[in-house]
Amino acid sequence: MSQPSSATPEAGDQDYIDVPNPNGEETDNSDNNNNKNDNNRLHVAIVGGGITGLALALGLSARGVRYTLYERASGLREIGAGIGLSPNAERALRAIDVRAHAVFKRVAAPSSSGGDWFEWVDGTTDQLAFRLSTRLVEPEGNVRFGKAVDRIEGWGVGEEDGDDGKVVLRFKDGTTEEADVVIGCDGIYSRVRQLLLGEENPASYAAYTQKFSFRTILPMEQVLTHSDIVHRIKTRVMFNGPGAHIITYPIGAKADILNVLFVISEPSPPSSSSPSHPQSTPISKSQEKRKPAVAKASKSEAIEAFKSWHPTIRSIVDLLPDAEAVDSDETKALRWDIYDMHDHPAPYYTRGGVCLAGDAAHASTPHLGSGAGFGIEDALTLATVLEAVDKEIIDAGEGARVTGTVTDDDDNDNHGEPEVVIKDESSTNTREQVRKVKKPDLCRAALAAYNDVRYERTQWLPGASREACGLFQWEGEAGRRGRDDPAWFGEEITRRFYHIWNYDIDGMVRDVLAQFRGRVGSNMPVGVGKGRGEGISGHLSM
């Protein structure tokens, strides 16, 4: 299995977005069909400006679908943990928008070894999200910063008298916006998820996994003074052992920085009174003062965790900066507590005209390096099916889909919006050969199709990632077997990675369009999708 390749932005790369659009034509994207003059067109609200939200914004923009992105922060900064994109994620990003893929390739500099399965973005900054936002998304003028969602109303069901099927977003600053569809891409602490699933539902909150990580960067010249570890730092290496593992890889245009990640298991749940640890149970509404998931690292914790390891590993640990002695945010070691949704998974991703994507839907631990990649897959799926909705609306407005007549319902008030008229070829009754599908129905059909296509794969990841960490840290029977049988260990890890990497992105696109068209073109309830247990039909109309 090929090792990850390191990545970092090149110095001085300020002017590199002169990239053809997905159709190979040069266009001015300043407007890009995102003006709101045509109120009949689909309008999508994206909540959250992380990788998933930005990828979705770019995918919609490339397909001419109107959107507005709402981000709670006052602006995006080059901070974060960095991400790695595997082949499936890179294929999905290219399908979303070739400009986005060009940004990624510019930020991600592959290693000299070649043939790598992973390409990694700088492990100390969220370069990819920052560049996608500042170079591609923000210039389109559809990003609203400082917008924290407080409540959602309407839900896009459109069944009550006078309800036009719009979803209403109420923000904490007192403002209100509406859209046909709302996509919650607001991450692991998703407010949209809390509102969609219920604030007292354990699945609305991520849970601490009893694992945390230290992240830091070290100047390579400092590391090279330690002769016992020089031979270990020239490439990407994972050191496995009891209760912990370490990943190191060089980054920078000249590979002059060593990125170091320590992942450590806690032996027992921390005390709720401990100021440095989050709760080990899901965060409930009553816990108003959530403990921070990121804090300065304690070097003593790392020393304690690796005290019985090989001297080479202890040499790496010794290079960690002391938190008390470091003032610079760029060089200090940070502790990141690791959360996921494995214990309390979301039973479904959609409700009316609202759905979840990325970490908001299926937050996973980082041990298989695929959280961001799965979010990009989600974004492509949504961009594809929402484009199909927009085309249906356009065609209905032009009369292209009117294939019959309906008399009794012709005077129904649809608030001035076009109705898509679908011919039912299976019916022998002339009066039943056509049926009207309003915009809210199209939106619900699209989101239900997205749910059905994405649910099984994305729900697999949190459990598989935990299993991988167990193998890395020799936990349980499987971990001990992996420790004693390297060949078996390699097969187990490779099997999980290949399940991720070899995913049929083109097939995913075909599947979601087929699901959508099947729902719209049949008498199947358009807003019912699959989920855990008995499904989610009971949650989609209220």
Could you confirm whether 483 is annotated as catalytic?
no
Nearest Cα neighbor of 302 from 316, 323, 317, 322 is 317
Q: Environment class of residue 3 by beta-carbon count within 10 Å: exposed (0-12), middle (13-18) or buried (19+)?
A: middle
- Tally of CA atoms within 13 A in the half-sphere of 475 that contains its CB: 16
Q: CA torsion sign, 37 to 441 to 387 to 192?
A: positive
The values of phi and psi at residue 143, to 5°, are: -105, 135
Neighbour tally for 467: CB within 10 Å:
19
Q: What is the DSSP letter of 134?
A: I
**Euclidean distance between CA atoms 67 and 434, whole angstroms:** 31
Give the gyration radius of the chain's Cα atoms.
Answer: 25
**Euclidean distance between CA atoms 460 and 447, whole angstroms:** 20
Helix (H, G, I), strand (E, B) or coil at 84: strand
**Catalytic: which of 215, 466, 496, 519?**
215
Strands 181-184 and 354-356: parallel
Nearest Cα neighbor of 68 from 48, 38, 35, 46 is 46
**Euclidean distance between CA atoms 136 and 121, whole angstroms:** 18
The values of phi and psi at residue 44, to 5°, are: -110, 130
Give me the active site residues, please: 215
